[in-house]
């Protein structure tokens, strides 16, 4: 089973709202990722959690706040977003193999994404 | 400099024919992995196939095969017997041994399968 689930599928929010995106996997993966994808562009990495600790923050504005409550769950808290933040937000997970030749084979499995519209 | 280059923004193929999607990469790391993902209009990124830099054989997964030419730094995806459901965006991606958790994606190729 290579399923990553994301909720909600669609989200419309105003610039003053607070909302959260949720991602879940039950593959025993220890690395989880948030990506932002604009139309007709490749995904852009936002955050990576490894063993529930924040490993990478790609200089993402503080209006995006990630959280990894446990090894299966990843949240992205949204506050005071701008219209240009409207995008597809993808969650992914991978085994999180560290070091050695297996590292390069650490395949990411993606969820279906949340389409976010900021008004 | 672009690390992953996909030069074909859009491709058309007739149903049941084979199609090759091009991908070239640039890295000085001797250890790297190459991935292809499919993204239908629904949005989900679907993992298709993987090739490691040390792999001697070209990877194959069902109708997908990877034409890996290490000296030319190319990793083209071949889809045999195209189906209407293959219409999607395809991304080539690379993970470098020294790159940590980062995966570098190409710009993508939009494939249209004609009936």
CA distance B1 to chain A (A): 16
Tens-digit pLDDT profile for residues A58-80: 999 999 999 999 999 999 999 99
Instruction: Count Cα atoms within 13 angstroms, Cβ side, for B101.
Output: 27
In sequence order, the 6+-apart residues with CB closer than 8 A to the CB of A15 are A80, A81, A82, A83, A118, A119
Please indicate whether, in this complex, the C-beta atoms of A104 and B96 are within 8 angstroms of each other. Answer: yes
Which of B4, B42, B45 to substitute to test the interface with A, most A CBs within 10 Å? B45
Q: Provide the CA B59 distance to its chain's centre, in angstroms.
A: 11
Q: Say if residue B1's pLDDT is above 70.
A: no
Check CB contact of B43 with chain A, cutoff 8 Å. yes
Mean pLDDT of B98-105: 89
Q: Return mean pLDDT, chain A.
A: 93
CA distance B83 to chain A (A): 22
Q: Say if residue A108's pLDDT is above 80.
A: yes
Give dist(CA B80, CA B15) in Å, integer.
Answer: 10
- Chain B residues near residue A40 by CB distance under 8 angstroms: 108
- Chain A residues near residue B45 by CB distance under 8 angstroms: 43, 90, 92, 110
Mean pLDDT of B26-51: 96
| pLDDT cut 70: percent of chain A above it | 95
């Amino acid at each position: 089973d290579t399923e990553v689930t994301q909720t909600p599928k669609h989200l419309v929010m105003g610039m003053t709202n607070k909302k959260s995106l949720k991602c879940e996997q039950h593959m025993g993966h220890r690395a989880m990722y948030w990506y932002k994808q604009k139309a007709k562009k490749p995904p852009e990495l936002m955050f990576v959690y490894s063993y529930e600790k924040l490993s990478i923050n790609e200089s993402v504005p503080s209006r995006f706040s990630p959280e990894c409550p446990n090894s299966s769950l990843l949240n992205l808290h949204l506050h005071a977003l701008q219209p240009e933040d409207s995008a597809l937000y993808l969650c992914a997970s991978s085994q999180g193999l560290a070091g050695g030749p297996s590292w390069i084979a650490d395949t990411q499995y993606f969820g279906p994404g949340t389409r976010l519209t900021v008004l | 400099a672009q690390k992953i280059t996909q030069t074909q923004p859009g491709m058309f193929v007739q149903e049941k024919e084979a199609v090759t999607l091009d991908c070239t990469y640039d890295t000085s790391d001797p250890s790297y992995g190459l991935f292809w993902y499919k993204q239908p209009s629904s949005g989900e990124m679907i993992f298709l196939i993987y090739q490691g830099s040390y792999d001697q054989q070209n990877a194959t997964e069902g109708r997908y095969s990877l034409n890996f030419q290490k000296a030319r730094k190319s990793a083209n995806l071949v889809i045999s017997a195209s189906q209407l459901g293959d219409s999607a965006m395809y991304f080539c991606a690379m993970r470098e041994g020294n790159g940590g958790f980062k995966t570098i994606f190409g710009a993508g190729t939009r494939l249209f399968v004609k009936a």
